[in-house]
Amino acid sequence: MIKFFRKIRQNLLIENKLSKYLLYAIGEIILVVIGILIALQINNNNETAKIRAKELHYLKNVKADLTLTIQELEQFINTRNSQIKSANNVIEHYNGKPISNLNSFNSDVINVYTWTRFFQINNTFQELTYSGNLAIISNDSIKNGLLNLEALYKKIKYLEDHFRYDAEVNLYNPSYDILDINPMGENYLYKITNGELGSQAELDKSRFEEMLLDIRQKNGFAFAVIEFSKMNIQLISMKNLASNLVKTIDNELNY
């Protein structure tokens, strides 16, 4: 092909057809430019395809993280509701209701004492953030949704820190001087493991009665109701947002 064009140029020069040669030269330049543009477009298309494949890989991993997070959220919402119920049960006894079942009362107390923090599964989001690849997510709804999810998570962390302080001051510290935690823990574990740990530990009702005279611990259980309820509001918001994000990602993956 190159020899063919070279021969045409030589013939035009030999025949002294300068104007035709110039037109031919311009046309040849245009063809070269078009060829370069086509090559650049192909290269851009290949690069775009690579970026899109990388984006889809990230989205699949984000979806997997979100699915696990939703499961964790559902579990924590149920756990928080159980702890709110236990705290309200204990408060009823502070308000004068007699303890008719020491084991049940002990279970309610320990259920509140053994609260745990929620941790979302966001490994892919962290990777996107720290690697600078968050911009690779082209769908703004997904990108903003992930950022909003992180903001909600931070609110939960703040609420947990707040309750941790309240629990230390109003629940844990006072109980160290009044309650015997060892039999309480054994009794509680016996119940939740269906008796696999041996005989159920005996509880001292007088210690519970002394505990019910301590206004600080009553306030601790009251704070548990308030703070766990606020946490659940954020947990439910996170679950709804995560569920919507999964649907949006599914649409993007199937696009």
How many whole angstroms separate alpha carbon 170 and alpha carbon 65?
36
The pTM assigned to this predicted structure is 0.80
Write the pLDDT tens digit of every residue in 112-127.
999 999 999 999 999 9
pLDDT of 23 above 90: no
Write the pLDDT tens digit of every residue in 49-84.
788 889 999 999 999 999 999 999 999 999 999 999
Q: What pLDDT, on the 0 to 100 scale, is given for residue 20?
A: 56
DSSP state of 134: G
Q: What pLDDT, on the 0 to 100 scale, is given for residue 99?
A: 93
Alpha helices in the chain (DSSP H): 2-14, 18-94, 102-113, 123-131, 140-167, 173-178, 181-192, 205-211, 215-253
Lowest mean pLDDT among 16-25, 99-108, 149-158: 16-25
How many whole angstroms separate alpha carbon 230 and alpha carbon 160?
10
The residue segments making up the domain with residue 93 are 2-253
Write the pLDDT tens digit of every residue in 152-206.
999 999 999 999 999 999 999 999 989 999 889 888 888 777 665 556 778 989 9
C-alpha dist (Å) from residue 138 to 55, 111, 144, 152, 185: 8, 45, 11, 22, 52
Domain count, the chain: 1
